[in-house]
Amino acid sequence: MRKEAGLTLAQAVDGLPFDESTLQRVETGWKSFRQGSHLRALLERYGIEDEEEIDRLVTLQREGASREWWTGVSTSLLSGMPRFLGVESAAREVRIFHPTAVPGLLQTEAYARTLHQLHKPIDEITTEFMEESVRLRMRRQEALTRDEEPLKLWAVLYEPALRYPIGAPHVMREQYTHLAELATRDNITLQVLPQPKAPTWRSTT
């Protein structure tokens, strides 16, 4: 539809609430729009005026988001991952805690990629596998921002996990901003568990 409208990726997203990268991933099937309103805005940009066609596509987008979207994404998923994704996608509420890092459902793309890069020499994973893992993680997060019945999330973040620098300062700054934005959503509860203060020892001599 974009090509039929004679638009480039940059022209298609100009002024809309998503970027070229998001649209490219939607077009290639790596992700779906987080909100049906985004799809409607794009269809309007493409000059689609048939209400029946618009409703059909929005319904298709909604139904597609509820299916086992990871099926066929990769044959190299770690053992047990398909079952985990199945449980997570069917869940209405998730509660998580991680002592050393920001949990995957809350990570920015840059934070997730940096974390994978740090583990790459140890896990001996390929760059292709790493990038696919990052895309998969970003796709999982869409359940938090979908229009209908978004996933309820209760996350407890351990203070050292927030203080430990993952990547360059701008990566952490973006991650902090992302957490602050997510915390404003009604379906997301974020709590920080303070790090206990070290005991002060006094000499008795």
Q: What is the pLDDT of residues 37-91, one digit of tens each?
A: 888 999 999 999 999 999 888 877 776 655 555 655 554 566 667 777 777 877 8
Mean pLDDT of the region 141-147:
87
- Of the listed ranges 12-21, 107-116, 193-202, the one predicted with least confidence: 193-202
Q: What is the pLDDT of residues 102-122, one digit of tens each?
A: 999 999 999 999 998 887 777
Question: What pLDDT shows up at residue 127?
Answer: 81
Question: What pLDDT shows up at residue 30?
Answer: 64
Average pLDDT, the chain: 84
Model pTM score: 0.61
- Of the listed ranges 70-79, 101-110, 136-145, 168-177, the one predicted with least confidence: 70-79
Alpha-helical runs (H) found in the chain: 9-13, 20-27, 36-45, 51-66, 81-90, 109-123, 127-140, 159-163, 169-182
Sign of CA dihedral 102, 105, 109, 112: positive
Q: Identify any residues that bridge with 98 across adjacent strands, giving them in sequence order.
A: 157
Question: What pLDDT shows up at residue 149?
Answer: 83
Question: What pLDDT shows up at residue 63?
Answer: 63
Question: What pLDDT shows up at residue 136?
Answer: 87
Question: What pLDDT shows up at residue 204?
Answer: 62
pLDDT band at 186 (very low <50, low <70, confident <90, very high): very high
Question: What pLDDT shows up at residue 33?
Answer: 77
Question: What pLDDT shows up at residue 28?
Answer: 72
Residues 6+ apart with CB under 8 A from 39: 33, 57, 58, 61
Question: What pLDDT shows up at residue 74?
Answer: 52
